[in-house]
């Protein structure tokens, strides 16, 4: 199912032996457009410092009670590598994080999560865990804080279009399926969805997302009702309108190549 990432920020996070805290943010992979970590604001036992939780650690999600249940104890989480929200979370730090939990790293494979599509598919059987866990350096950064990307301006082929307001994610693969674009600066109250793969490039330095779409194309696209779920019928209308290959039949592919980690922008 597709869900608003902003809506998930109020979810509680529970270990096998008690509550940890609540979700306050997310770290997005700017190469694959996947949610890699939940940033959890802890309470009580943890003395309030934030911790990172990977979807690999999920036991189950109780959507009715707005709760992520983990296959981890509170002590295990408490002793995990420290997370400093004021500093970039590099591949080197990720390696330490994954090695601590004993998970196979997701990087170095073609799938979003190792060789598969789902975080629970990661296992130690996939390659040399210790070698991959220590690959990368402190300057190799590819994770972006979701709240910081909100507000990025959207630049069309002929004019500005709006700004990023939210993200729509798949609650099983944790892929970012759509950027929610607020166009209210030009058309009062209208929100539209654009797949991140339709972006020609992203300038992290200028905080802009460039899309290969005109303002008129966006203006006339199927409007998204934030009170309604993003279902397959709406997605079909959206993809048909833009004439784009549908991701659910396996034919959707990114139109850009990732920039080197040290670059401020992504070339088209």
Dihedral pair phi/psi, residue 4, rounded to 5°? -75, 130
Structure tokens at 131: 């070698």
Flag whether pLDDT at 266 surpasses 50: no
| Dist. CA 193–CA 216, nearest whole Å | 14
User: Does CATH place domain 150-249 in 2.30.30.240?
Assistant: yes
Nearest 10 degrees: Cα torsion 79, 22, 47, 45: -70
| 150-249 and 2-143 share a CATH fold | yes
Structure tokens at 177: 């399926």
Structure tokens at 108: 């170095």
Q: 67, 11 in Cβ contact below 8 A?
A: yes
pLDDT in tens, 208-258: 999 999 989 988 899 898 888 899 999 999 999 999 999 998 655 443 333
Q: How do the domains of the chain map onto residue ranges? A: 2-143, 150-249
What is the pLDDT, as a whole number, of residue 125? 55
2-143, what's its fold? Answer: SH3 type barrels. (2.30.30)
Q: How confident is the model at residue 154 (pLDDT cuts 50, 70, 90)?
A: very high
pTM of the model: 0.86
């Amino acid at each position: 199912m597709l869900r608003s990432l902003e809506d998930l920020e109020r979810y509680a996070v529970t270990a096998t032996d008690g509550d940890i805290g609540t979700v306050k943010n997310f770290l997005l992979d700017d190469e694959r457009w996947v949610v890699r970590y939940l940033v959890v604001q802890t309470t009580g036992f943890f003395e309030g410092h934030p911790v990172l939780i990977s979807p690999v650690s999920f036991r189950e999600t109780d959507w009715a009670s707005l709760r992520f249940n983990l296959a981890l104890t509170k002590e295990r989480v408490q002793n995990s590598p420290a997370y400093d929200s004021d500093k970039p979370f590099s591949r080197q730090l990720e390696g330490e994080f994954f090695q601590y939990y004993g998970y196979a790293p997701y990087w170095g494979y073609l799938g979003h999560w190792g060789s598969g599509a789902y975080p629970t598919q990661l296992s130690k059987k996939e390659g040399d865990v210790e070698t991959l866990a220590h690959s990368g350096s402190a300057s190799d950064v590819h994770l972006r804080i979701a709240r910081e990307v909100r507000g990025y301006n959207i630049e069309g082929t002929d004019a500005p279009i709006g700004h990023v307001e939210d993200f729509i994610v798949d609650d099983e693969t944790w892929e970012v399926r759509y950027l929610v674009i607020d166009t209210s600066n030009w058309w009062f109250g209208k929100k539209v969805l654009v797949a991140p793969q339709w972006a020609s490039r992203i300038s992290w330095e200028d905080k802009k997302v460039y899309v290969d779409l005109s303002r008129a194309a966006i203006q006339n696209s199927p409007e998204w009702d934030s009170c309604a779920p993003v279902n397959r019928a709406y997605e079909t209308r959206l993809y048909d309108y833009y004439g784009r290959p549908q991701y659910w039949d396996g034919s959707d592919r990114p139109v850009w190549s990732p920039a080197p980690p040290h670059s401020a922008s992504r070339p088209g």
